[in-house]
Homo-oligomer: A and B are copies of this chain.
Amino acid sequence: MSSHFLSLSRRIRKTHFTDRVIENGVKGFTVYNHMLLPTYFKSIEEDYHHLKNEVQVWDVSCERQVQIKGKDAFKLLEMITPRNLNKLTEKKCLYVPLVNSKGFMVNDPVIIKVSKEKFWISIADSDVLLWIDGIVSVLNLDLIIEEPDISPLAIQGPKSELLASKVFGSKINNLKLFDIDCFNFEGEELLVAKSGYSKQGGYEIYVNGPDVAIKLWDALFEEGKNLNVRAGCPNLIERVEGGLLSYGNDMTITNTPFECNLEKFVQKIVPNHCISARSLNSSKIKNPGKIIKSLSIDYKNPVYCENIWKVINKKNEIIGRVTSGAFSPDFDTTVALGMIDINYLNDEEDLFTIIGEKKYLTKIHEKPFI
């Protein structure tokens, strides 16, 4: 992975955990929501094997919360996502696409109901606060939007349940995927969800303020000594194997939720109070010409997709674009995510991905690798 030095400033925000992350030997960062996000510690491969076998603590403070508070908070949420929010409760958070009036993806966050009139939108990398500010600027809604000082910390990996129960008690073992509840940590009530940006299982803890942040980090490392706990971060190889989309990489504001394979999060008929209703209910958008797929590419050397890789057919016509990809040691192939022309999804024809100057045989998979 090519690297350059990143210069720091107030604009590129440190997190409450950044000093600990540096002490733990972080080797790279990216910038996500104007904030530092670690990219690897030992190497992407070593981090990958460790994540799939042990347990890691991740500084994902960059998943900023957009707090919507007030009488009209729920009404606003129903305007901005085409997903049915009936299942959203104080015990259950939801992954939702945010979609604009043209039917395009603004973000793909998780929504948390903190209390009756207070919600957090835990965002991917785009200024959702500004989008909502724009909507609210011209509507007379009774609500306050702000970014509270909440720093998500994730515990991920097969031993995450063991580690979490040591710190939060065995009650945490009862949480199912996307369940959320309050847990006591040294006198603080913290929201903990069974969620995270890996397929290895784990939790995301919504940490309020700098003091509890450091205490919690240190407690997790103290309790995790015998579990071989390490500082980690979302792992490119594992994420692509798992088919987890990255806003900004695999989808942008030029894509619809249908292109992004997010149809199951769009109501069959989107109700009219939703700003994307008219667009998403049109048959043209419901039947996209391309769709994101998991791919395997017959390229067997360590590689990371930093720019778009073109996917071509036998006639050398471009029929898709790979937006995330990495060589997977476990599957002994390069795994990838890319938007593919629907005419080629069930085709028997050989497809190829261009990496560097050469082309490599490419297979479309119905499901992610893990």
Q: Which residues of A contact B (CB under 8 A)?
A: 1-12, 14, 22, 26-32, 34, 36, 39-40, 100-101, 106, 125-139, 246-249, 253, 275, 305-308, 323-324
Question: What are 12 A-B contacts with C-beta separation under 8 Å?
Answer: A3-B8, A4-B29, A5-B29, A7-B28, A7-B40, A9-B306, A10-B249, A10-B307, A12-B30, A101-B138, A130-B130, A135-B137
Number of copies: 2
A247: nearest residue on chain B (CB-CB)? B11
A236: nearest residue on chain B (CB-CB)? B9
User: Which residue in B7, B136, B305 is a CB contact (below 8 Å) of A30?
Assistant: B7
A12: nearest residue on chain B (CB-CB)? B30
Task: Indicate whether A129 sits within 8 Å of B253 (C-beta atoms), given known contacts A4-B6, A8-B2.
Answer: yes
B6 near A1 (CB under 8 angstroms)? no
A2: nearest residue on chain B (CB-CB)? B8
> What distance in Å separates the Cβ of A8 from its nearest Cβ neighbour in chain B?
4
B11 near A138 (CB under 8 angstroms)? no
Task: Indicate whether A249 sits within 8 Å of B9 (C-beta atoms), given known contacts A127-B127, A135-B134, A138-B138.
Answer: yes
A30 surroundings in chain B (CB, below 8 A):
6-7, 9, 11-12, 31
A8 surroundings in chain B (CB, below 8 A):
1-4, 306
A248 surroundings in chain B (CB, below 8 A):
9-11, 34
Task: Indicate whether A34 sits within 8 Å of B137 (C-beta atoms), given known contacts A5-B6, A5-B29.
Answer: no
- Report Cα–Cα, A9/B337, bound state, in Å: 13
A3 near B2 (CB under 8 angstroms)? no
A133 surroundings in chain B (CB, below 8 A):
100-101, 106, 131, 134, 253
A11 surroundings in chain B (CB, below 8 A):
30, 32, 125, 246-249
A31 near B31 (CB under 8 angstroms)? yes
A7 near B1 (CB under 8 angstroms)? yes
A137 surroundings in chain B (CB, below 8 A):
100-101, 134-135, 275
